[in-house]
Amino acid sequence: MFKKQIPLLLFCLTSMVSVAQQAISRKYISPVRILWQDGEVRNSEKLLIEGNGQANLANRDMVFLKNTATGKKASILLDFGKELHGGLEIVTGMWGPNKPLKVRIRYGESASEAMSDVGVKGATNDHAIRDFTALLPWLGKIQFGESGFRFVRIDLLEENVELQLKEVRAIFTYRDIPYLGSFKSSDERLNKIWATGAYTVHLNMQEYLWDGIKRDRLVWVGDLHPEVATVNAVFGYNEVVPKSLDLSRDITPLPAWMNGISAYSMWWIILHYDWYMQHGNLKYLKEQQPYLNGLVKQIISKVGEHHKENMDGTRFLDWPSSENKPGIHAGLQAMTVWSLSTAARLGHILGDKETESLCNKTVSGMKNYIPDPNGSKQAAALMAIAGLISAEKANKEVISVGGAANFSTFYGYYMLETKARAGDHQEAMDVIKEYWGAMLDLGATTFWEDFNLDWLPNASRVDELVPEGKKDIHGDYGAYCYLGLRHSLCHGWASGPTAWLTEHVLGVKVIEPGCKTLKITPHLGDLKFVEGSYPTPYGVVNIKHTKMADGKIKSEIKGPKEVRIVR
């Protein structure tokens, strides 16, 4: 009898191992404040007390929502204090008669979204159901599905009934992993921005590395690039990155472009180089070689007369630049040069002289054609990174014009990178504080899919109900696929400042695969000090830079013996 049960036991153990490898944990979080309530609601403050998730017969300290035939529907809006990925658990008490009661539940990344109706100001149930009706059990517990949210509104729907709530808790689902990288400086605003970028990516590290936890819960390869830079700077190795890169490869047989976007297939090449430099896994890199070689030939086939890119598929850099056709052409010319230059380096690492030579020859020709970025900060940044124009020229003539105006949450990372290459570190830090910091000033706890400084005048905060006469920063703005409340307020591609501050202010640059050699070159600007840590495959490197009275920088660096530090 026992022998017959062994296969079932092994299956269960295998399943448990699989779940453990995914490293997805759950944590129950109680709300921190009652933001609003309407109708007959009593004892609502009891929901702020930490619960245990268990219904019981004592039936004490209940929250009562009561409807009559004529009065207002009993409703309550809960604030969980910060953006979360996960679901909702509701524990109920006893009411008579003992039958289920119908409620409406709405998740919101902003208070405004939690108060919305689907179809109004862009509110939607796309990708994750965040507005739904449900039955709550009498004296029981029930859990509801996942989305990205901070706020939850509950409405009792039926007439002449009384609902008793013992607990309403968020089910926070996340990878329980340590923050190995860190950043702390004399500027608390920069510190908070670094931490917010790290947390934004952390929330998106689910089974795969998503770009958004509400919308889109998808693997977009271009979006991965700043996310992976943040993963490297904060968490070190995590399986979610190769899983996502491999998924993108496996669901995109050539000649298709990843996500239908030619530039996104180019980002895949750049990502593999960055991942190899960080972790030094040659075996994993070799697994990419057949696809890489085919993709390189496909990209080169799209380089036309006079060495101009002629990419098909969706021609896209990011959303704010999407109507600037000459700028997109300039950006794609740069992306082609950048990705093929990177592929040449990968070919050299892999001992593939044919691919290396083919890429270098194509890049050499393409550098003879320098398109006009047409005022696009996105294109100018890519052109500088690809070596088509100098970083100083790109910064002075395009990127610095208007300061943080026309920055974007995704390509802002490459604009900052160009400013660093031009030696403009202080202005880059000022832009980070102005642009990304403005989201924090509006109540953000994660960084958004898009943001525009033009939205600021008379804007409400995301953590308050919109006061009369103010603009709804979530519902009244946005564009393209993220109009109004459809706009994601937790988008991993917006995390660029986290990786940038680690590389250019703390000063960590990987110059030998697997972090065997790090170059530490701090740029403090007006900071008095900066300290932090950086994860490598051999352990954490701890760094502290202090500005002395004469303006010189004193550095203290400690790390594993396997990691060589150069300055």
Each residue's pLDDT tens digit, 78-120: 999 999 999 999 999 999 999 999 999 999 999 999 999 999 9
> How confident is the model over 67-85, as pLDDT tens digits?
999 989 999 999 999 999 9
In this predicted structure, what is the pLDDT of residue 23?
79
Cα(320)–Cα(152) distance, integer angstroms: 31
Confidence of residue 17 (pLDDT cuts 50, 70, 90): very low
Question: Looking at the predicted structure, is the pLDDT value of residue 548 above 80?
Answer: yes
Cα(225)–Cα(206) distance, integer angstroms: 16
Confidence of residue 331 (pLDDT cuts 50, 70, 90): very high
Question: Looking at the predicted structure, is the pLDDT value of residue 18 above 50?
Answer: no
φ and ψ at residue 131, rounded to 5 degrees: -140, 110
> How confident is the model over 123-133, as pLDDT tens digits?
999 999 999 99
> How confident is the model over 278-318, as pLDDT tens digits?
999 999 999 999 999 999 999 999 999 999 999 999 999 99
56, 57, 61, 66 alpha-carbon torsion, rounded to 10°: 100
504, 232, 435, 190 alpha-carbon torsion, rounded to 10°: -60
List for the chain the helix, strand, coil content (%; round to 5).
Answer: 40, 25, 35
Question: Looking at the predicted structure, is the pLDDT value of residue 151 above 60?
Answer: yes
pLDDT mean across residues, the chain: 95
The tokens for 128 are: 């994750």
In this predicted structure, what is the pLDDT of residue 13?
45
Cα(392)–Cα(215) distance, integer angstroms: 37
From the list 474, 530, 526, 21, the residue with the least C-alpha distance to 242 is: 21
Question: Looking at the predicted structure, is the pLDDT value of residue 500 above 70?
Answer: yes
Give me the domains of the chain, ranges plus CATH numbers.
24-175 (2.60.120.260), 181-251+390-396+403-449+488-567 (2.60.420.10), 263-387 (no CATH)
Question: Looking at the predicted structure, is the pLDDT value of residue 16 above 60?
Answer: no
Say how many CA atoms lie within 13 Å of 253 toward its Cβ: 0
> How confident is the model over 423-469, as pLDDT tens digits?
999 999 999 999 999 999 999 999 999 999 999 999 999 999 999 99
Residues 6+ apart with CB under 8 A from 37: 44, 74, 75, 76, 77
Cα(405)–Cα(416) distance, integer angstroms: 13
In the chain, % of residues over pLDDT 70: 96
Q: Where are the beta strands (DSSP E) in 12-157?
A: 24-29, 33-38, 40-42, 63-67, 75-92, 101-108, 131-136, 141-156
Confidence of residue 9 (pLDDT cuts 50, 70, 90): very low
Arithmetic mean of pLDDT, 365-383: 98
